[in-house]
Structure 1
C-alpha cells in the first residue's frame, strides 16, 4: 500500500476514531487508540480554554509513558508546538530551555524538579482534564503547514542548548518517506525506547501511529537495568526495532537475543550514530530473516534523510558501511573546504524536511541555514563522500561535535560547563575513538585553582548538576598546564592525538 499523507494529526485521528485496539503499552498497561483520540481532544480543548499566547510553544516534561504522548499531541492539536524535556535531565537544562523558549506553559506529566515562574500545569491537573467537556476543540487552530510541530533542544557550542524547530511539513515529509520506503506493514508492533527529547523517538512514534500499530515503551529504569531489560524485551513480541547501534550492541550481549526468541522481529532501523560492519554482521547472523536499515540525519533535517538496507553483500563490499541514499524529495551534496561543489566534503542537505532554524537564535540560524536553488538548506558539519551511484559514506565531523551512544554532543558545551566549576581554571574535552571509528569515551583535561581530594569524582558529581548524564566524561585528568596553539588557544587536536595514539 502506498501512503501520501497530507496531515499527521488527521491521519492519526482517522486510525484512532472508534478503534478499540491498543496503541501504546507502558509500565501502567495498555492504552487504546480510542483513549488516544478522546484524551488528546479533551486535553487540547482544555489548553485552548486557557487562552495561551497564540502559536507559543509549550514545554512537555516527563518520561516514557502514555500521558507524555497524549500531552504532546494535545499541545499540537491546541495549536502549540511541544518542547519535550526528559525527566532524567538535570534541572539546569529545564531552566535553560525555559529561558530560551519563553514557553506559554510547562505541562508536567510528572513533578518538575524546580519551581519556575512560567505557568505550570501538573500531572494531576492534566489527568483531571483528560475528559474535559466544557468547551469544544477548535481544530482550525491545530498546528499545520509550516507551523512548528515540535522543538527539540540539542547541545550548543557555548554551553547553551539550541532549539531545533521542526514544522508539520518537515515531519510530514519524514513520515511519508518512512511508511513507504521501509516495508513497514499496518498494525506493526514497534519498540519505543529512545526518550522523547531525543529525535530518534520520532522514528518510532509517528510512523507507528499512522500505521495503526502498537508502541511498546520501555522505561529509562528498564533500559538501565540489563537484567530487567533482557527479561522484558522477549515479552513484547516485537516486529520492528528502532534504536541507536549502541543500544542493539548492548542487547547482543544477551545470547538469547536472536531470531528464535524474537520470531516476529523482521525490521531493524538504526540512526543517531555510525552502524559498524561488525555490529551489522553480528545482527544478521542472529536475525537472518530480518531487514536491517542504516539511516542518517541531523535533528535539523527531521530525524533521517538517507537510508540503505544492510545486506550480507553490502557488508562484504564495505569496510565502513554506507549511510545510504538521499530520500526522494531531498538533495544531499558535498562542498570542499573552499565552498566548492565536490564529491567529498561537508554534507549540505536541502529539501522539505530541513528545519527553519533555531528557536530565538537568529545568529546560529544564519550560520547553519541558507537558501539553495530556492529550497532551504542546512550545513550539516558532517563530512561525507558521495559515490557515482548516489550512495553516501560518513567520514567524520568538521568541528568538535561528536556522537556518543547516539547522543549528539558539542565538546565545547562540556568545556564551558567544566570551566564554570569553582575549582577549575581551564578545561578541554576530547573524544577517544574505538577500532570501528566510533567515539567510545569522552576524556577531559582540567587545570585546577585549588587542590581537590578526589578531583575526578568530585568534578563529575558537580558537572552532573548542569549537564546530561551522557555528557559527563568517563575520565577527568588534572594537568599543571594544557597545550596551546600558536594563537594561544588550548590545543584540542594535540590532546586528541595523544588520547587516540593507542594502536
Structure 2
C-alpha cells in the first residue's frame, strides 16, 4: 500500500477517529482526507503532476501533513524543510530538486517569491483564494512501489545539501515492521517530536496512519522546552514516544520527568539518532515499565537495526547495543579487506534491503549495499555495538583515535550527564577537546576527568581541554553540533590569548615604569 493510501484507507475505516492532534486542535481522518483532497486539487491547478517535486517550507502543523498527503495523491514527491530553514537554503534545495512548487505560509511567501525561479509556483498552505477556486475530486494516483515518495535533504560533506530520495517501498518496509513490532492499533497515540524534515517523523506519521491511530504533533518551540515536553508526556494519554536521546535527557535533567509518575498508558519509548548514555537509560528504566527500544539507521536507510533494552544492558558502562537487523534488511560489518567481521571484531556497517534509498537526487541510483560510515563491533549474539563514525576517527600526533570511544569513556564518569568530543587543529597542533554536561549539582574538574579517561583509554586519547557546559549545542535535528563546538573552543582560546597578551603588556609597562 502506498503512503497516501494509508490515510485514504483509515478514513474509510475510522472516519471519525482523531488522526492529528496539535495543541487544542484535532483533525479526524475524515477531515484529513478532505484537506488532502483539497490540497491535491490546488496543486493540480498550479500545474503539479506525477513525479514533480514540491517543497514544503513551514513550521509543523496539520496543514503541512495535509499538504504531504495532497502531494502524494498526485503521484508527486514532497520535500519537507523546517520553518527555521533560511530562505537561501530553500532556494538551493528547490533548485537542486527542480521543484515545481514551494508551499509555505503567508508570512514566508513574499520572501519565497523573491528568491525562487519564476517557473516555480508558490502556494499558501492556508489556501486563501486558491482554496475557493479549487475543486476537490477524489485523487488517488496509481504509483509503483519504487516510485519516489519524499526527499529528505541532509548536510553534504562538501557543504552542499544532498537529497536522500526515498520510495514508497522504502518507507513501507520500515513502517510495516514498526507497526508489527510495536503492536500498533487504532487506540494508540503517537508523539511526533522530530521535525518533518527528519526521518524519525516517518514512524510517528505513517505508523499512526497505517492503523487508524492518532499522531500528536509537538510544536517546534516545544521541542527542547523540558517542562512542556514532560507535561505532554505525563499529563496526556500518549502510548508511544519517539525522539532523540537528548530530548529525553533534557526532560529528565531539567523538566522533572523522573519526579512525576510514569503515565500508565505509555507502552513504548523509542530513541534514535545518537548514542544514549547508559546512565540515562538506567534512570528511564527505573521510571517506567514501558518497552525501551534503541532504533538505529541513517537517513539513507531509515531504521535498519533495533535493540530492546534488557536488564543486562543496564550493567554495562557504555550505551546499549544497536542490535540486529529489522525492516527486512540485511546488515553486516565489513573489515578493511571487505570480508565480514566476526564476534569481537570491528568494521563498517553495511546495509542491503528494502529500506535502502533509491539514491541521492540528481546523482546515479544507489547500487549495492549502503555503506553507513558507522563503525560497529560484532557482539557474540550476532548483534552490534555502535563504536562511532568512520569520519569521527581522527589522527592526533600520529595516533588513530575513535572519538566515540573517548565519549563513551568520559560518559561513564559518575558526574557526567552528557559529553561530546571534537578534534581541533591539524598536524602537530591537533588536540582533543571535550564538552561536558555535568549531572545536577556536580562540577567535575578537568584533572578528575582526565584521570578517569587515563584509566580506560590510551594516553594519546586523553582530552587536552574540557569545557563544562549546561547543554551541548544541537543542530535542528537535535544531534550534537560538532562544528559549533569547534568554533566555541577556538573563540574561547582566542579570548584567553587576548587576555593573556593584555596582561603581559600591562606587566611589562609596569616593570618599565619601575626601572
TM-score of the aligned structures, taking structure 1 as reference length: 0.75
The answer to whether the 8 A contact 2:195-2:477 is kept is: no
What whole-Å deviation, never above 9, does each CA across 1:304-340 have from its counterpart, x for those lacking one?
Answer: 1111210223323674411011016211011112222
User: Given the alignment, which residue of 379, 382, 391 partners 1:390?
Assistant: 382
The answer to whether the 8 A contact 2:348-2:374 is kept is: yes
The answer to whether the 8 A contact 1:45-1:137 is kept is: no
What whole-Å deviation, never above 9, does each CA across 1:2-61 have from its counterpart, x for those lacking one?
Answer: xxxx33322321112361121111145111111111110221133223333541211011
After the TM superposition, which residues 191-230 of structure 1 pair with which residues of structure 2 at under 5 Å, given as runs?
191-230=191-230
- 1:167 maps to what in 2? 167
Inter-CA distance 139–170: structure 2 relative to 1 (3 Å threshold): same
Secondary structure class of the residue paired with 1:252? helix
Q: How far, CA to CA, are the matches of 1:111 and 1:229 in structure 2?
A: 27
Inter-CA distance 258–110: structure 2 relative to 1 (3 Å threshold): farther
The answer to whether the 8 A contact 2:17-2:29 is kept is: yes
Q: Does 1:71 align with 2:67?
A: yes
After the TM superposition, which residues 262-273 of structure 1 pair with which residues of structure 2 at under 5 Å, given as runs?
262-273=263-274
Deviation at 1:215, TM superposition (A): 1.3
- 2:484 maps to what in 1? 473
The answer to whether the 8 A contact 1:314-1:321 is kept is: yes
- The answer to which structure has the higher helix fraction is 2
Deviation at 1:167, TM superposition (A): 0.2
Deviation at 1:99, TM superposition (A): 2.3
Between the two structures, name the one with larger relative contact order (CA 8 Å, sep ≥ 6).
1
User: Given the alignment, which residue of 420, 424, 440 partners 2:420?
Assistant: 440
User: Given the alignment, which residue of 351, 354, 358 partners 1:352?
Assistant: 354
Query: What runs of 5+ residues in structure 1 fail to find an aligned partner?
Result: 1-5, 372-376, 403-429, 447-463, 481-503
Inter-CA distance 111–79: structure 2 relative to 1 (3 Å threshold): farther
* Bigger Rg, structure 1 or 2: 2
- 2:19 maps to what in 1? 23
- 1:321 maps to what in 2? 320
Q: How far, CA to CA, are the matches of 1:258 and 1:249 in structure 2?
A: 14
User: Given the alignment, which residue of 28, 39, 60 partners 1:32?
Assistant: 28
The answer to whether the 8 A contact 1:67-1:109 is kept is: no
- 1:8 maps to what in 2? 3
The answer to whether the 8 A contact 2:234-2:261 is kept is: no
Deviation at 1:443, TM superposition (A): 7.5
Inter-CA distance 23–131: structure 2 relative to 1 (3 Å threshold): farther
The answer to whether the 8 A contact 1:64-1:195 is kept is: yes
- 2:83 maps to what in 1? 87
After the TM superposition, which residues 39-78 of structure 1 pair with which residues of structure 2 at under 5 Å, given as runs?
39-52=35-48, 54-78=50-74
- 1:407 maps to what in 2? none
Q: How far, CA to CA, are the matches of 1:228 and 1:40 in structure 2?
A: 30
Inter-CA distance 181–129: structure 2 relative to 1 (3 Å threshold): farther
Inter-CA distance 258–243: structure 2 relative to 1 (3 Å threshold): farther
Q: Does 1:280 align with 2:281?
A: yes
TM-score of the aligned structures, taking structure 2 as reference length: 0.74
Inter-CA distance 324–90: structure 2 relative to 1 (3 Å threshold): same
The answer to whether the 8 A contact 2:306-2:326 is kept is: yes
Structure 1 stretches of 4+ with a deviation exceeding 4 A read: 127-133, 256-259, 441-446, 466-472
What whole-Å deviation, never above 9, does each CA across 1:465-490 have from its counterpart, x for those lacking one?
Answer: x999974614141579xxxxxxxxxx
Secondary structure class of the residue paired with 2:209? helix
What whole-Å deviation, never above 9, does each CA across 1:398-453 have from its counterpart, x for those lacking one?
Answer: 11499xxxxxxxxxxxxxxxxxxxxxxxxxxx99946238753668669xxxxxxx
Secondary structure class of the residue paired with 1:370? coil
Secondary structure class of the residue paired with 1:280? helix
What whole-Å deviation, never above 9, does each CA across 1:46-98 have from its counterpart, x for those lacking one?
Answer: 32233335412110111221011111111111121111000112333212212
The answer to whether the 8 A contact 1:61-1:110 is kept is: no
The answer to whether the 8 A contact 1:154-1:164 is kept is: yes
- 2:448 maps to what in 1? none
Deviation at 1:201, TM superposition (A): 1.1
Inter-CA distance 195–441: structure 2 relative to 1 (3 Å threshold): farther
Q: How far, CA to CA, are the matches of 2:476 and 2:18 in structure 1?
A: 36
